[in-house]
Chain A
Amino acid sequence: MVKVLRINMTNREIKSEELPEKYALLGGRALTSQIVSDEVPATSDPLGPFNKLVIAPGLLSGTSAPSSGRLSVGAKSPLTGGIKESNAGGITSQKLASLGIKALILEGQPEGNDWYGIKITSDGAEMFSAQDLAGKGTYEVTSLCRDRYGAKVAVITIGPAGEMRLLAAGVTNNDTEGNSSRYAGRGGLGAVMGSKKVKVIVVDSPSFNAPVKDAEKFKEAAKKFSKILMDHPVTGTGLPAYGTNVLMNIINEAGTLPTRNFRYGRFDGAAGVSGEKLAEVAVARGGKATHACHPGCVMRCSNIYPMPNGKVCAPVEYETAWGFGPNLLIADLDQVAMLNYICNDVGLDTIETGCALGVLMEAGVISFGDGKAAIEMLEEVGRGTALGRILGSGSVVAGKTYGVTRVPAVKGQGIPAYDPRSCKGNGVTYATSPMGADHTAGYAVTANILSVGGQVNPLLPEGQVDLSRNLQIATAAVDSTGLCLFVAFAVLDNPEGLPAIVDMLNAQYGLALSVDDVVKLGQQVLRVERRFNSEAGFTRADDRLPEFFQTEDLPPHNTRFDVSEADLDSVFNF
């Protein structure tokens, strides 16, 4: 039976409910956003008893579909004040799907200061006291849970930042080796989990037991899809060789690498924190340049980076290397990895923390380029000092606290690693996505910079709205399947890609969906999310970039963000 586990933290009751018929064809982001929309009042306090944290595997998770183990975590975001789906790799999604669990819903709020854990197995779910885990970093919590419940369990947890309900706190889970680094990082969902007083959710199950109606047809479609991924130059060759941080150099060369808190588009030290450098150092120290974040991924874009202190940061991703590297004028990969590791352990989103550090450097609290000072300041988060709490609350809070207007954020969420003035398609996505500034929500870097899915000149406003719209729709659909968004590199270029995904869905669920139905699913997800935001008080004024992107030239191309407001308002005209 497919089911929803409803975990009420007010009375500490766990109920297993049959999945309502209306949710039967939803998974991942489509399901988290629909449940949040149906059950959470849009005007509720994100950290109050009426918000709910919804965790859902994708439609294809737990099957042999390649790269299909992505997990969606949704709620009303305390960072943006709008709806949020944050997407993570790791091993939990496949395990939940294998138990027939379509969604976990954490709701209510307990009285008192006790912390709780939840353990989920094929026998059911139970709550336990997590008092002994409270205050601990995510690496230790994950390690303790693997000792207690078995080395193969999946551990969803929050760090001290989530316990303190800081706005940049994420929800993490682990990879096969037990690294608690696979984050649903964005939007402060760790604070929502903290507000429910849930420190950890342990899932014990096999990984590939999700029910499939027509196993033969499924196998055939999955094999075909796997070949499509392996045959594409980016998913079959590029990503497996150097991982996501291979982007550092091409984004730098293209002049759209946000440098010194979005002042320049190129950084002289970029190569020193790039994927090539990472691969060199990781391999020399006995780590790995390529690694899968969940079993069955064929792209293997993750990595294992041993640090000089003997600890391991796995992985160092592009966005993180950018946020702590060029954004802060730091050219030392070991310092970048250390900042990454601390975020993973204390429980913070690396992008938001990178943006917040950039704003605090802008304010002169510490100097640009001073990696040692950045590490010391980040260590304050775990100690709960006032400055640590400001840093852990993200870029907008940092800007307001120190009177800085140069704050790269939309709807309260920090802008990631592509400057919107010279990658204008992503600028449209940052401005208009219901998620706030989110590069994955409509990754126009494909056609703007990477020559994937066509070519649209990144320096001109023309064509960017159509590009962003189509990508936002496709992404909302992909995020619902549990497939990694990176499959889009192949799907955008290969006309057989999307039909192969539809064939897998049809074989698994005994359906007769068409490619059009998948597009409609993506549109429906966006409509639901936009409606929630509108009811929460968002207007057109929230679909805009910060002023300085329109008034300051970005070297080396000396361009400004000049997509018109009317064009931005037409993104959701479907």
Chain B
Amino acid sequence: MILEVRVFAGLEKQIPGARYGQPVEVDAPDGSSVHDLLRILNISEELVFAVLINGVHAKKEDTLKPGDRVSFFPPVGGG
């Protein structure tokens, strides 16, 4: 299945050629979880503080669906 992945705030350095905010298309096996996706992307789990799937907070064990917009963030805050 094809997923639309975005990485931010330094995580883009983990994916060669990636830019923050620009979608990276990833072909992942059907039924993949967020854990699996991070393995495919070769991003270390401890760098990822928040995961959003289609704009909603998700857990790393959650299963992904084709076409999901997945966003990864390190710790961020402000206001």
Contact = CB atoms under 8 A, between A and B. Distances in A.
B21 A247 contact: no
Interface centre among A253, A274, A449 (most CB of B within 10 A): A253
Interface in A241-262: 241-247, 249-250, 253-255
A557 B53 CA distance: 12
B22 interface: yes
Contact of B77 (A265, A270, A317, A450): A450
Contacts of A440: 79
Interface stretch (B24-32, B37-45, B68-76): B68-76
A180 interface: no
A243 B55 contact: no
A515 to B, nearest CB: 23
Interface residues of B, number: 25
B2 interface: no
A96 interface: no
B57 A247 contact: no
Contacts of B73: 249-250, 253
B78 A249 contact: no
Contacts of B20: 249, 271, 274, 276-277
Contacts of A276: 8-10, 12, 20-21
Contacts of B22: 271
A398 B68 CA distance: 41
A275 interface: yes
A241 B49 CA distance: 15
A235 interface: yes
The main secondary structure of chain B at its interface with chain A is loop
A445 interface: yes
A255 B22 CA distance: 16
Given A242-B9, A271-B22, A274-B21, A301 B50 contact: no
A485 interface: yes
A443 interface: yes
A319 B79 contact: yes
B75 A233 contact: yes
Given A450-B50, A459-B56, A556-B55, A249 B8 contact: yes
Contact of A250 (B10, B50, B54, B56): B50
Contact of A244 (B10, B55, B57, B78): B78
A239 B56 contact: no
A241 B12 CA distance: 14
A443 B79 CA distance: 8
A489 interface: yes
A237 interface: yes
B56 A270 contact: no
The 8 closest A-B pairs by CB, nearest first: A271-B21, A244-B78, A233-B75, A234-B77, A238-B75, A255-B55, A253-B71, A276-B20
Interface of B: 6, 8-10, 12, 19-22, 49-50, 52, 54-57, 69, 71, 73-79
20 contacts: A233-B49, A234-B77, A238-B76, A242-B76, A246-B8, A247-B77, A249-B20, A249-B71, A250-B52, A253-B52, A253-B71, A274-B20, A317-B78, A445-B79, A449-B57, A450-B50, A450-B77, A451-B57, A486-B78, A556-B55
